[in-house]
Structure 1
């Protein structure tokens, strides 16, 4: 019997409240160490989650021979540098989104993966939730007719200037933080890359980050995906998938709770009140645990030889790059 895959966690980020228990709960894995530049925080988190080791430096965790893989939830501007250092230390890396601040930065991760033979994956946990797998199967089956458009709304309210999401020097702003989900899931459903995009940005005048961003992505054949994301609006999230014969609504598309069933609703549009709509219930699932299990399976199947995940991450960053270019040009920008 092979031993468990042992995770190390870089930093004491708030998202660890969701991810660390999932890493502990995933089959065939456990968390062996947590590191923080504040050793007291590392010790507190290690005690909280029942983790044996706490380090007061990221370097110490990377030097630990017991650690097989690293979960990297550090601020966005530190994703690339510390993911590369982890791979160079012989660790596989699951890195929070966005995996980089530009596609060129993400390509450095591909180079490091090829050089070190260690896997690096962007942590879009939503792709592992049964509701998104079911949604894509319905698109593929033709149940919605021809998929023509996707509409996404995702927002929360946070105007704290000290929060990492509101600091431009750390890669803050709505597009990086949550708009990336709309891009990723549209690409997941269309199973294609957008050709041209345009973005509209409202920048916070004090903090200098985008607080309200809308984007339009044009795919081949006239297909479209649009989104609005905001860090200063009432909290909401919803995805509507529009085909020629029916629409599918993903009601809680991104922050799916691990302890509640979810619904996706298919509606043939025979009336404006949804009388013919049919809901499908998806059982409660920890999408973070599923993501971790899929990661470990990829490692077991070939690790750094599997370049698919990093290529997908680079493709997502190319769309973000083009949207930022459109902010400056005010025009449609080609992706790539």
Structure 2
């Protein structure tokens, strides 16, 4: 397969530390350009990574006729505007999560997705531990799935950090709560019917520093989660069924090219002596993500706006949780 020629919009931390190294390691990707609003920043990043071209504006990169696809890891409030600009320039777009800050914002991109490939970048969907967890659920190894429980936290109270700026889409729910929402949708392979949230906002920053939620999927299926930007770093996912449970130990920040472990408890003793630990193949979830996107671009499959339906459905749940914060009660999740 001829490599897809990529450009990166911004010198963000996730790009420099995670996605760019993944791109550079893949034979399916030719990373040719990086852009920043500061040309010196772009040039420094390009030198460090060995990227051929550096641009001092996003528009210059999007005007480069050699670039076929772009990775958009800009601050949350710029995801949709720059994705639309890239699509208008004929570029395919892999956009970081959360794809949009509202369902209406996400829907504005659907028409553009009929012309180029556009995808929300949830790398976890490509990791072997998540694929294995869903395989076990589908195979009935834990019986009928009843509950998914997620905890995800880190500590960052720096007011200058974009994750703590309300106007840029900062806060726990947008930054990491989106993973918890995805976990339920991915493992139940369904959409929630209603949701309720409890939000604690930082009195100075205004962002939600701790958010908990309960999602009702009907038929006795529930998702509960707590996410926090001001708690000790920790993450875990539990999937509990009528006959067993699955535990993911490092579900979201899996070590690059490291082996992850998954626990399968098929109803053994409470002391855990019957738990089976599976070791999953070493993988770089970011590389798997960009390679899967590159294959779609190169295989010539026509763009399909319905493919953005997942991002729209994800945004619907997030919108509902914000509505519940305001109302203080259960809110219905809009359905297609």
Task: Give the 3-state SS of the residue equivalent to 1:54 in structure 2.
Answer: strand
Give the distance between the partners of 1:120 and 1:303, measured in 2 at CA. 13
C-alpha deviation, 1:220, in angstroms: 2.0
* Structure 1 residue aligned with 2:47: 47
Shift of 1:89: 0.3
Residues 60 and 212 of structure 1: CA distance in aligned 2, closer, same or farther (over 3 Å): same
Provide the residue aligned with 1:23 in structure 2: 23
State the distance in 2 between where 1:194 and 1:300 align. Answer: 34
Once the 2 structures are TM-superposed, how far is the Cα of residue 296 of structure 1 from its aligned partner?
1.2
- For 2:230, the equivalent position in structure 1 comes to 232
Deviations 1:116-139 (A, max 9, x none): x10110000000000000000000
- 2:106 alignment counterpart: 106
1:168 to 148, 163, 166: 166
Shift, 1:185, TM fit: 1.6
CA distance in 1, matches of 2:37, 2:247: 42
Contact 1:67 1:91 in 2 (8 A): yes
Describe the shift of the 1:203–1:304 C-alpha distance in structure 2 as closer, same or farther (beyond 3 A): farther
Instruction: Please tell me whether the aligned partners of residues 113 and 304 of structure 1 are also in contact (alpha carbons under 8 angstroms).
Output: no
CA shift, 1:3, in A, is: 3.2
Superposed displacement of residue 307, structure 1: 3.2
Q: CA deviation at 1:105?
A: 0.2
C-alpha distance in 2, partners of 1:41/1:79? Answer: 20
Contact 2:317 2:333 in 1 (8 A): yes
State the Cα distance separating 1:28 from its structure 2 match: 1.6
Contact residue 194 and residue 333 of structure 2 kept, 8 A: yes
Alpha-carbon deviation of 1:23? 1.3
Structure 1, unaligned runs of 5 or more: none
| Contact 1:143-1:246 within 8 A present in 2 as well | yes
Q: What secondary structure sits across from 1:34 in the alignment?
A: strand
Aligned to 1:3: 2
- Counterpart in the other structure of 1:193: 191
The Cα of 1:325 is off from its aligned counterpart by 0.1
* Aligned CA distance change for structure 1 residues 230 and 303 (closer, same or farther; 3 Å): farther
Does the 8 Å contact 2:4/2:297 carry over to 1? Answer: no
Q: Whole-Å Cα distance in 2 between the matches of residues 28 and 107 of structure 1?
A: 30
Alignment CA distance shift 1:79-1:12 (3 Å): same
Residue 44 of structure 2: SS of its match in structure 1? helix
Segments of 5+ residues of structure 2 without an aligned counterpart are none
Alignment partners' CA distance in 2, 1:48 and 1:309: 35
**Corresponding residue to 2:264 among 266, 275, 290:** 266
**What's the offset of the Cα at 1:298?**
1.9
- Residue 90 of structure 1 corresponds to which residue in structure 2? 90
Aligned with 1:150: secondary structure? strand
Measure how far apart 1:112 and its partner are.
1.7
Shift of 1:30: 1.6
CA distance in 2, matches of 1:56, 1:262: 39
Give the aligned length: 333
Alignment of 1:212-291 (within 5 A): 212-291=210-289
Alpha-carbon distance in 1 for matches of 2:131, 2:93: 24
Local SS of the residue matching 1:110:
coil
Distance 2:299 2:42 in 1: 32
Q: Aligned ranges for residues 40-79 of structure 1 at < 5 Å? A: 40-79=40-79
- Relative to structure 1, the CA distance from residue 30 to residue 169 in structure 2 (aligned partners, 3 Å threshold; closer, same or farther) is same
What do you get for the CA RMSD once the two structures are aligned?
A: 1.1
Deviations 1:151-209 (A, max 9, x none): 00000000000000000000000000000001112101100000000110000000000
- With normalisation by structure 1, the TM-score equals 0.97
Alignment of structure 1 residues 127-142 onto 2, 5 Å: 127-142=125-140
Cα distance between partner residues in 1 of 2:278 and 2:30: 33
Please point out which of 149, 152, 164 is paired with 1:151.
149
Shift of 1:306: 2.9
How far apart are the structure 2 equivalents of 1:166 and 1:271? 43
* Superposed displacement of residue 4, structure 1: 1.6
SS at match of 2:190: coil
CA contact (8 A) 1:120 1:304 kept: no
Task: Tell me the residue number matched to 1:126.
Answer: 124
Partners in 1 of 2:76 and 2:241 — Cα distance? 35
1:17-40 CA-to-partner distances (Å, cap 9, x unmatched) read: 100011122232121100000111
